[in-house]
Chain A
């Protein structure tokens, strides 16, 4: 089963490498991994999509926690969450197909961000399965290049009481 795991780490030299090294060293799968700053400058947030039996995922979470730079590990799987991925897809067009592709882009609420005499570049955001769907539809036209950001995810916000503010750390 696929799991989406958020990891808050010290925004420090080598922190990303430690996570990547641990995954490869222990033989865990990584479907995608993304990393970026959070609202706290000295904390980075990684979103890792991994796959495995429950026993493996339990080890993944424990091993992540064991890293000294790790502040918090949250398995978002099974929680209500917002998950998004960004894809840039450059696709070939011909005389008759340019409008079709533009139309597809609109249906998926994407943007055309570049065009030349042979190709269009689409920007699509959404949950990973939406990106998969776009890729499927565009494949027959011929995809020249594609870049996917990997998933980022956040737990959906709960109603906060007035005097309480949730802090990251």
Chain B
């Protein structure tokens, strides 16, 4: 390692900083403004650079890597279009609190503002979608800025941080001094929850007759899942999870109620509606969870644990806020309990709801359905794979039918709902996780949004099982058109325009399968999982017009839940 006080160029400093931040991998694409960095990169041996095919892909890869491993994902791209192409991925990371650091090239400082070739004000553009961003104007500030970027991205409520690097700054020389610690008077995230509030919360939960834990992505990000499992198991508490929270508590456990919200289980939503104490752990009362805000958990005393104070009282006014790291709060909360409360009556009610309206789909008509495929996947991988979904119907079916047993195993674009997330994010996950199967699941629509990253998968021979759920429709939009938009299937039918996915896969050199028969699913999956010479692609041609149930229409309550497609005859 280079010792301090040596004179180094900006480019050397850049890589020295990455080394000290223990960066093992960066996802990037070269270009004019970052040529100097790529020149140095040629001889750098401590990290791997993954060449993507579009900068959006790079940001999703960094997200996938960060979500799967808990480490910071790093992106390196050039100025102008290279930078603007990262915007969707940055917004995605911002909404789902994913720690990534994006380095963008920039035109030389004296040309900034001149409409120079490949200039874009990326700091201005990304200001509302980053946790923080920096334009480095002086090489003397480079090292401390990079240190700050990693610190901000990975602490408190994590999020994306962008660092804009003008070409002349990278070329300049200065004394290298990497700060060991960083102090920012404006940034001191609250870590420990307030003692008295935690005690009060414990007292209230102890007295509750119908308590419910509502678990979000924060439990996974803070690595608080062990504490959650202990606390819930020892006190026999029911657990429902948000989309981002899936896997925080094993879904194979009887105490898991599955997901809540719009496409959540009937029993989870009934439990929310009837609970007397709701304990929100690292979740943010998103509209897809709450539906009509006034009717969300109407009888419950609400406790909200979150590291980000802005999340508290933003959507739903709570009775007892605790600002702090959910892992620590959970540990302290659990320590307040001596004996498990008697919740037999509450569990009776919940189990009745479970029986009243279980998840179901048609199994006997010989047609291939997504639910069946996901069930099979869950079974074959024992719920232990890393499953990266895209956005839409298949995403919801995965949340319902894949029984996640581990945290950091369900990676999805929740907040922003970015189609095209799955394939590149699965690449990031595959570089981070080597000991578990990596399954990317997309619809036929979303798959085409970052289809170019098949090259990256193929080139690096990543062992990803790429699954395309092809219903020849933008299925979720089609579902809303059927339910809420007078059955006008406006521009959602892709059957005339979809490519031959098997030929697409083969063109990239990827072993590819296709089937439309349930009877073939087992054998294809077995063959795919047995294959260990790189990626496989499987197209499942499923029924065209299925809908995801249950659904609580947007802005409504569990009373309006729809559990099956209405028979036209019944509607009269």
Contact = CB atoms under 8 A, between A and B. Distances in A.
A146 to B, nearest CB: 30
B366 interface: no
Contacts of A70: 186
Contact of B308 (A66, A67, A68): A66
B294 interface: no
A33 interface: no
Given A14-B135, A65-B309, A21 B127 contact: yes
Interface in A145-169: 169
Contacts of A169: 185
Interface stretch (A56-64, A82-90, A92-100, A107-115): A56-64
Q: Is the interface of B mostly helix, strand, loop or mixed?
A: loop
Given A62-B309, A62-B310, A68 B128 contact: no
A13 B137 contact: yes
A66 B309 contact: yes
Interface string B130-163: 0110010100000000000000100000000000
Interface string B298-309: 000000000011
Interface string B104-118: 000000000000000
Interface in A23-82: 25, 55, 58-59, 62-63, 65-71
A10 B186 contact: yes
Interface in A1-22: 9-10, 13-14, 17-18, 21-22
A22 B128 contact: yes
Q: Is the interface of A mostly helix, strand, loop or mixed?
A: helix
A65 B308 CA distance: 11
A55 B132 CA distance: 25
B127 A17 contact: yes
Given A13-B137, A14-B123, A68 B309 contact: no
Contacts of A25: 128
Interface of A: 9-10, 13-14, 17-18, 21-22, 25, 55, 58-59, 62-63, 65-71, 169
Q: Which 4 A-B pairs have the closest CB atoms?
A: A68-B132, A62-B310, A25-B128, A68-B187
17 contacts: A9-B186, A13-B137, A14-B135, A18-B127, A21-B128, A55-B313, A55-B317, A59-B314, A62-B309, A62-B310, A63-B310, A66-B308, A66-B309, A67-B186, A68-B184, A71-B185, A71-B186
